[in-house]
Amino acid sequence: MSAENQPAPSPVSSESAVAARGWVVTFAGLGINLALGVLYAWSLFKDAIAKEFGWKGEQLSDPYALCCLVFAGAMILAGRCQDKFGPKVTASLGGLLIGGGLIFISTTSSYGLWLLGFGVLAGLGMGFGYSSATPPALKWFPPAKTGLIAGLVVAGFGLAPVYLAPLSQVLVTHYQLQKSMLILGVAFLVIIVCLAQLLQNPPTGYLADARSSGGSKTGSTGLGPGEIIRTGNFWLLWLIYFAGAGAGLMVIGSISGMAKATMKDSAFIAVAVMAIGNAGGRIGAGLLSDKIGRRWTLLLVLLFQAGLMLAAIPVTNSTEGSKYVLLLLATLIGLNYGANLSIFPSFAKDLWGLKNFGMNYGILFTSWGVGSLLSSVAQRLKASSGSFDSSFQVAAVLLIVGALLTFLMPSKSTATAR
């Protein structure tokens, strides 16, 4: 049959191919974040670092805190790289940086060099990898699925401790800390660089809205970084993100230590179940925000998290308490913290569009980085008081303030899927 007599591809098959490509990009991004989530497993390495290197006090949290700051700062540069050169190049750089950072610290026990390797190099790698995973996935889907897709992609980062908790336990037990870092570094470098090759933006002129009969209208589209920082909505979102993320990070970095009183050597399980909640919260909150709106979802999340922080005080103080109550609490705290990581990128897309999404969200994400400083505050409060009570109280106040700030957000800024 001649070429001109070949039947044209049916619209159904064409739409199926487009949808398939969108899901490939989405799950490649999820896979990249599964590797980048080694950050949330830091509390699992603390005991090994103290035992093998002799570090004490704030030294045990400083590489983690620095990594969070560099991660957040790198999101701006990485976002620009993603917008200009595309997700494939940006994510590949991320894989080389985080893998290289872990391989580097596998050669040393120096506090300063761990700050450089984990705090700076791995932090940069997380910024480049994380910033390039979400934007291409969002571009393949209509606005009605923004929350769901953002939640799925970032769920990988939160879910990482589920496999890293038992894996790190096995690695450290059999190979010691430094060789464990070497194994993880090589594995993450290869995995991220390979998955990066699957990240792809839609072809020029592609409109996801055309495939949707419904969907929400986004806010102002195509705004650049210089324009968004002159809007009130940006600074409101920045402050609320700081409150929600900072309160969660105060707890996540120390959850293993909190669980030791009740769960002894099985405390790593608390880290794993918190990670399940973290990942589930990202997907669940993304779906919910597509249905009832970003603002109302955010308000519910912040208030619920504040209640959990106060409920955690008697639970973590009890040496005779039920480990199942502690595990439930860890899961719910993880769930509500994770919700922030899907709601805010969805807000960024709704308000400012996708044209400069990488850099715009990178600037907004600096609030997460500043919030990470509260993990060091939590350690100081613990050292001065002997308990985590003050940390939970400070976190609860932050969350309540964040919840009140949501009422200043105009309702039209909250996208719905109606």
Cα torsion angle, 285, 288, 293, 298, sign: negative
Q: Does a structural domain hold residue 361?
A: yes
Residue that the structure tokens 């739409």 belong to: 15
- Domain extent at residue 51: 21-201+219-413
pLDDT at residue 341 is higher than 80: yes
Tell me how far apart the 2 most distant CA atoms of the chain are, in Å: 82
Q: What is the DSSP letter of 85?
A: H
pLDDT for residue 265? 62
Q: Which amino acid is at 335?
A: L
Task: Tell me what percent of the residues of the chain surpass a pLDDT of 90.
Answer: 48
Specify the range with the lowest mean pLDDT, choosing from 63-72, 215-224, 231-240: 215-224
Alpha carbons 321 and 261: distance in angstroms, whole number: 9
The closest alpha carbon to 78, from 125, 13, 111, belongs to 125
The pairs formed by 139-142 with CB atoms below 8 angstroms and a separation of 24 or more are 139/201, 139/202, 139/206, 139/208, 139/354, 140/18, 140/19, 140/21, 140/22, 140/25, 140/26, 140/202, 140/208, 141/22, 141/208, 142/208, 142/209, 142/211, 142/212, 142/214, 142/215
Question: In the predicted model, what is the mean pLDDT of the chain?
Answer: 84
pLDDT for residue 415? 42
Q: Is 233 exposed, middle or buried (0-12, 13-18, 19+ CB in 10 A)?
A: middle
Alpha carbons 365 and 363: distance in angstroms, whole number: 5
At 264, is the pLDDT very low, low, confident or very high (cuts 50, 70, 90)?
low
Q: What is the mean pLDDT of residues 3-26?
A: 64
SS3 175: helix
Q: Does a structural domain hold residue 43?
A: yes
Task: Tell me what percent of the residues of the chain surpass a pLDDT of 70.
Answer: 81
Domain of residue 47, CATH code: 1.20.1250.20
Q: Is 92 exposed, middle or buried (0-12, 13-18, 19+ CB in 10 A)?
A: buried
* Cβ-contact 270, 160 below 8 angstroms: no
For 199-208, what is each residue's pLDDT tens digit? 999 887 777 6
For 277-334, what is each residue's pLDDT tens digit? 889 999 999 999 999 999 999 999 999 999 988 888 887 666 555 677 778 888 888 8
* Cβ-contact 8, 105 below 8 angstroms: no
Instruction: Quickly count: other Cβ atoms within 10 Å of residue 405's Cβ.
Output: 18
Alpha carbons 339 and 284: distance in angstroms, whole number: 7
Q: What is the mean pLDDT of residues 369-380?
A: 76
Output Rg (C-alpha) for the chain, integer angstroms. Answer: 21
The closest alpha carbon to 71, from 97, 104, 43, belongs to 97
Task: Specify the length of the chain in residues.
Answer: 418
The closest alpha carbon to 305, from 236, 369, 228, 392, belongs to 392
At 47, is the pLDDT very low, low, confident or very high (cuts 50, 70, 90)?
confident
The closest alpha carbon to 224, from 400, 60, 348, belongs to 348
pLDDT for residue 168? 86
Query: Where are the alpha helices (H) located in 197-231, listed in sequence order?
Result: 225-228
pLDDT for residue 8? 47
For 127-159, what is each residue's pLDDT tens digit? 999 999 999 999 999 889 999 999 999 999 888
pLDDT for residue 57? 75
Q: What is the mean pLDDT of residues 14-29?
A: 83
Alpha carbons 141 and 309: distance in angstroms, whole number: 36
The closest alpha carbon to 279, from 342, 358, 188, belongs to 342
| Number of structural domains found in the chain | 1
Give the 3-state secondary structure of 10-56: CHHHHHHHHHHHHHHHHHHHHHHHHHHHHHHHHHHHHHHHHHHHCCC
SS3 230: coil
pLDDT for residue 3? 43
Q: Does a structural domain hold residue 292?
A: yes
What is the pTM for the complete model shown?
Answer: 0.83
Where do the DSSP E strands lie in 212-258?
none
Q: Does a structural domain hold residue 111?
A: yes
At 218, is the pLDDT very low, low, confident or very high (cuts 50, 70, 90)?
very low
pLDDT at residue 216 is higher than 70: no
* Cβ-contact 395, 251 below 8 angstroms: yes
> Of the ranges 215-224, 253-262, 264-273, 362-371, which is most confident?
362-371
Q: Does a structural domain hold residue 298?
A: yes
DSSP secondary structure string, 136-175? HHHHTS-GGGHHHHHHHHHHHHHHHHHHHHHHHHHHHHHH
The closest alpha carbon to 129, from 100, 95, 162, 104, belongs to 95
pLDDT for residue 215? 37
SS3 218: coil
Q: Is 397 exposed, middle or buried (0-12, 13-18, 19+ CB in 10 A)?
A: middle
pLDDT for residue 306? 93
Q: Does a structural domain hold residue 240?
A: yes
pLDDT for residue 186? 97
Q: What is the mean pLDDT of residues 105-123?
A: 95
